[in-house]
Chains A and B, each alone.
Chain A
Amino acid sequence: MLIEAGHFALALALGLSVVQFLVPLWGARTNDATLMSVGTPAALGVFGLVLFSFGVLSWAYATSDFSLANVVANSHSQKPFVYKLTGVWGNHEGSMLLWIVILALFGALVAIAKNAVPPKLRANTIAMQGLVTIAFLLFLLITSNPFERLSPAPFEGQDLNPFLQDPGLAIHPPLLYIGYVGFSITFAFAMAALIEGKIDAVWARAVRPWTLTAWGFLTLGIAMGSYWAYYELGWGGWWFWDPVENASLMPWLAGTALIHSTVVMERRDALKVWTILLAILTFSLSLLGTFLVRSGVLTSVHAFAVDPDRGLFILGILVFFIGGSLALFAWRASMLKQGGIFAPVSREGALVLNNLFLSTACATVFIGTLYPLALESLTGAKISVGAPFFNATFLPIVIPLLMLLPFGQVIAWKRGDMAGIASRLWVAGGLAILATVAVYAVTFGGPALAPLAVGLGVFLVLGAFNEVATRSFAGGITGAGALALAARRALGLPRSTWGTVLAHAGVGVTVIGIAATAWSVERIVSMNPGDVEPIAGYEARLEGVFPRTLHNYNEDVARFTLTRDGEVVSQLETMKRMYPARGMSTTEAGLETFGFSQVYISFGEVQPDGSLGVRLYYKPFVLLIWIGSVIMAAGAALSLTDRRFRVGAPVRAKGQEKGQERGQDKGHTKGQASGHAGGRRDEPRAAGGSAAAVPAE
C-alpha cells in the first residue's frame, strides 16, 4: 500500500509540476501577481511529493521489501544497513529519483529564497524549473518506474553491485547530483531572462548564489568520485579521462566560466549574452553527462546498469531542452542590450580571458569525449580517445590559464597597468621560483617538469593570498600597530573576497598534489608470507593471508606490517572480497596515510608458485589533490555567506546599504592612493542599492 502511495505521489507530482510550469508563466505574461504566486506552493508541493516518494523507496530498501523489482535487483537481506540505504540510489531508477528530488529541492528553494529576485523573474524561473521537472518525472514514470512490483516476491535479493557497497556511494552521487542538477536553476534563470527579454545586474546577483552552490557541490562530487575510484579500482590512479569523468568535468569547466562571467555582469553590466549562453550550455552539459552515464553509449569503466533504450528517452529530453533553449536564445538574445567593450588589461578583460580559456578547454574535452561516437556513426570505425589526447590538448590550454590566474586577481577593474601588476606580484612570483629551484634541488635526478608544476601551484596559492596582503598592508603602513591594523583590515574584507582567495588557493593546492604524483613510486612484485619489500623508505612485510567472512561477503585478507628504519609504523590490510550473491569480487586497497602522503597496497591473484601478486605504491602528497578541491568548495561556501547575498529584497534601504558599502570601502582602502584600490573605488557598484531598486535599462 505504501509502495503504491509512493508511486501515486510521483504521478501527483507530475500533475502539480504542470501547474508549476503553466500558471506562473501565464501570470508573468499577463502581469497577474496572484497567478505568479501560485509558483511557490506548487514548487513546494512537488518537492514534498517527490521527497515522500523517495522516502517510500528508502523504506522499501531499509526493510528489504522483495516484492519490489528494484529492491530485488539491488539489495540483499544480509547487506549492511547503511548500504541498504545508499543502495536506493545505487541503481538506475533510484538514482533518477534522487535526481528529481534534487531538481524539485532547487525549485522549492528558489520559491522560498529571501534574496532580491523581482517577482516576474522568480515566477518565470519557477515555471522553467517546473518544465524540467515534468520532463524527468515523465522519464521516470514511463521508462524507469522504481516502484514496479514483482509477483511472486523472491525470498532473497540479487545484492547491490559490490563496487558500490562502499561509503563512497553514500557521499559521491548526492554531491555530484546536487552539483549537476543545481545548474538547472541557472538554466531556469537564463530561460526566464530570455522570456522576459530583460537581463541586468539584478539578474546576475540573483543567479550567483545558485551557481556558487551548484559549483561547490559539483567540485566536491567530482573530488569524492575521484578519491573513490582511486582507492576502489586498485590502480592507484585518480583521474582516467574516462567518458563518465569527462561528463562531470565539462559542466564544471562551463560552470567555473559562468561564475566568473556573472561577476563581470554584476559589476560592469556587460557580457550578458555570453553569460546567458554559458548558463544554457552548463546545464546542457549536465544533461549530456546524465545521458552519457545512463545510456552507456560510450565505453566507460564507471558504467553501471546502463540501458540504451532509456538512453533514447534522455536523448529526447536533451534535444528538447538544448534545442529549445538555443532556439529561444537565438530569437531573444538580440533584445538584450550589449554591454561595453573592455580594455584588454583590466579585471574584466582578464575575466573574459578566463572564460575564453575555460570554454576552449571544455570544448577540447567535449570533442575528445564525443568524437568516437561521431566517427563511429559516420564511418563505423571504433576508436578510443584516452589520456594522451587530453594531455596533449587540455593541458596546454589549462596551464597558461593557471599561470595567468594570479595576475587576473590583482588587475584593477576598468584599466589596469602592467607595472602595477608586476609591483604587486613580484614577491609571490619570486617565492614560487625559489620553491621551484628548491624542489628541483631536493629531488635532483627525478622528473624535470614536476618541480615547475609545484612552482606553479605555489604561485597560485601565494598569488591568491597576495590580494589579502596588498589590501591589508595598503598605503605602506608601518610602526607598532601595523600588523594589528593589517589583520583588522584583512578580517574586514568582504567574505566574497576571502571566498575567491580560498577557491584560487585551492586550485594551487590541487596543482601541487597533481605535480607530486610525478614522484609516486609503483612496484609490482610477487610476495610470499614473511617476504619484505621496500617501498620509498618504508618496508612492507607480508604477514600472511587469511580468509574472513563478514556480512554478505567472504574475503581474503593480506596483512602487511609497515616499518621504517626497523620500527613498526603501522599494520595495514588489503582485501579481495567475493560477493556470492553476484559472484563478483572486488579489491579493497590497504591505505596508510602519512601526512599528505599515502602508502597504497593492493593484491591481485595468487601466482602458480603460491606467491601473491602485490602492488605497492608510495603516493607523495597525493591527498593534496582532494584537499585542494575541498578548499575550492569551501571558498564557494564562504562567498555564499557574503553580505551581498544575505541582505535585502527589492525594498532594501538604499541609503543604508550604500552607506555600509562606502564605509567598508573606506575601512580597507584608506590611504591607498594608487594601484588597484584606485581602480576598485571607481568601479560602478552594481551591487549597490541603486541597481536593485531601479533595474537598469
Chain B
Amino acid sequence: MTRKQRRLTMIGAAGVTLALALGLVLWAMSDTIVFFRAPSQVASEGVEPGVRFRLGGLVEAGSVERHGDQVTTFAVGDGGGIVPVRYQGLLPDLFREGQGVVAEGRLDAEGLFVADTVLARHDENYMPREVADALKENGLWQHDGPAVRPAAARDLPSTTPTQ
C-alpha cells in the first residue's frame, strides 16, 4: 500500500466509526431520553398517557398509603399541582412525607402516575436540582442550602438533640 492509501484507510476508518457513533447517539437521543416534569407542568401542559417521564416534587404530607404486596401510593406536589403516584417495590431509605422525590414512570388513562423507579438519595440535605428549581418557581423553596456550611452549623447546638 502506498502512503496515500494508508492514510486514506486510517481516515476512512476514523470517519466510519465516528459517523456510526454519531448515528447511534442521535438515534438513542430520540428514543431513550426522559424528560423531567414538575406536577405543576403536568397540570398545566398535560402529558399523554404512556409517555415516559420523570416526576419530581415533594411528597405531599399525609398522602402516603401503604397497601399490601409492596404497593405504595402517594401524591407528589410542588404548590402548582398534585399528581397521584402508585409504586410497587421497596422505597428508598430517604423517602418521607414532605421530602423531595423523583419518580420515573408513565401516566395511565386515569391520570395516575405509575412509577417503576423511585430514586434514592445519599444525603438528606441534597435536593435534586430539578425539584429545587420547580419548588423555587412556585415559591415553596425554604432550603438554605446544605447544612454542612459553617453558617448553618452555628445554629446547631439549639437544633441538635445532644445525647
Contacts and interface: CB of A to CB of B under 8 A. Distances in A.
Interface of A: 69, 72-74, 78, 91-92, 148, 150, 154-156, 158, 161, 163-164, 233-235, 296-299, 301-307, 341-344, 349, 352-353, 356-357, 360, 363-364, 367-368, 371, 381-386, 388-389, 392-393, 396-397, 524, 526, 576, 580-587, 602-605, 607-609, 613, 615
Interface in B26-69: 27-29, 31-37, 54, 66-69
Nearest to B121: A301
Given A392-B31, A580-B161, 6 more contacts: A72-B156, A73-B153, A154-B157, A296-B126, A297-B129, A582-B124
Nearest to B12: A344
Contact of A352 (B10, B32, B149): B10
B98 interface: no
Contact of A296 (B70, B91, B129): B129
B147 interface: yes
Contacts of B138: none
Given A305-B123, A341-B7, A604-B90, A158 B153 contact: yes
27 contacts: A69-B153, A72-B153, A72-B156, A73-B150, A74-B148, A154-B160, A156-B160, A158-B156, A301-B119, A303-B122, A306-B126, A341-B3, A341-B10, A342-B10, A352-B10, A383-B36, A384-B54, A385-B33, A392-B27, A580-B163, A583-B124, A584-B124, A585-B94, A607-B66, A607-B70, A608-B66, A609-B68
A148 B150 contact: yes
Given A72-B156, A343-B1, A156 B162 contact: yes
Contacts of A608: 66-68
Given A356-B13, A357-B17, A307 B35 contact: no
Contacts of B162: 155-156
B128 A299 contact: yes
Given A92-B148, A605-B66, A389 B29 contact: yes
A181 B98 CA distance: 40
A389 B163 CA distance: 48
Contacts of B121: 301, 303
Nearest to A604: B90
A241 to B, nearest CB: 11
A392 B24 contact: yes
Nearest to B158: A154
Q: Which interface residue of B21, B68, B102 has the most chain A CB atoms within 10 A? A: B21
A605 B17 CA distance: 49
Given A150-B153, A161-B122, A524-B70, A381 B35 contact: yes
B146 A305 contact: yes
A396 B28 CA distance: 12
Given A155-B157, A303-B123, A305-B125, A607 B93 contact: no
A148 B145 CA distance: 18
A304 B125 CA distance: 9
Contacts of A163: 122-123
A74 B133 CA distance: 27
B153 A299 contact: no
B158 to A, nearest CB: 9
Given A382-B36, A585-B93, A607-B68, A156 B150 contact: no
B17 to A, nearest CB: 5
Contacts of B94: 584-585
B140 interface: no
B68 A393 contact: no
A555 to B, nearest CB: 12
A91 B148 contact: yes
Given A383-B36, A608-B67, A150 B150 contact: yes
A637 to B, nearest CB: 31
A154 B31 contact: no
A49 B19 CA distance: 50
B139 interface: no
B70 A360 contact: no
A200 to B, nearest CB: 22
Nearest to A156: B162
Contacts of A150: 150, 153-154
Contact of A344 (B6, B120, B153): B6
Nearest to B146: A305
Contacts of B3: 341
B130 interface: yes
A299 B31 contact: no
Contact of A302 (B33, B54, B122, B129): B122
A609 B1 CA distance: 77
A69 B152 CA distance: 10
A383 B6 contact: no
Nearest to A298: B129
B145 A344 contact: no
Contacts of B18: 360
B141 to A, nearest CB: 14
B33 A384 contact: yes
B24 A364 contact: yes
A299 B66 CA distance: 28
Contacts of B149: 73, 307
A498 B149 CA distance: 49
A188 to B, nearest CB: 28
A158 B125 contact: no
Interface string B67-100: 1111000000000000000000111111000000
B156 A364 contact: no
Contact of A388 (B6, B32, B68, B157): B32
Contact of A73 (B17, B126, B133, B147): B147
Contacts of A367: 25
Contacts of A304: 122-123, 126
Q: Which interface residue of B123, B146, B161 has the most chain A CB atoms within 10 A? A: B123
Contacts of B122: 161, 163-164, 301-304
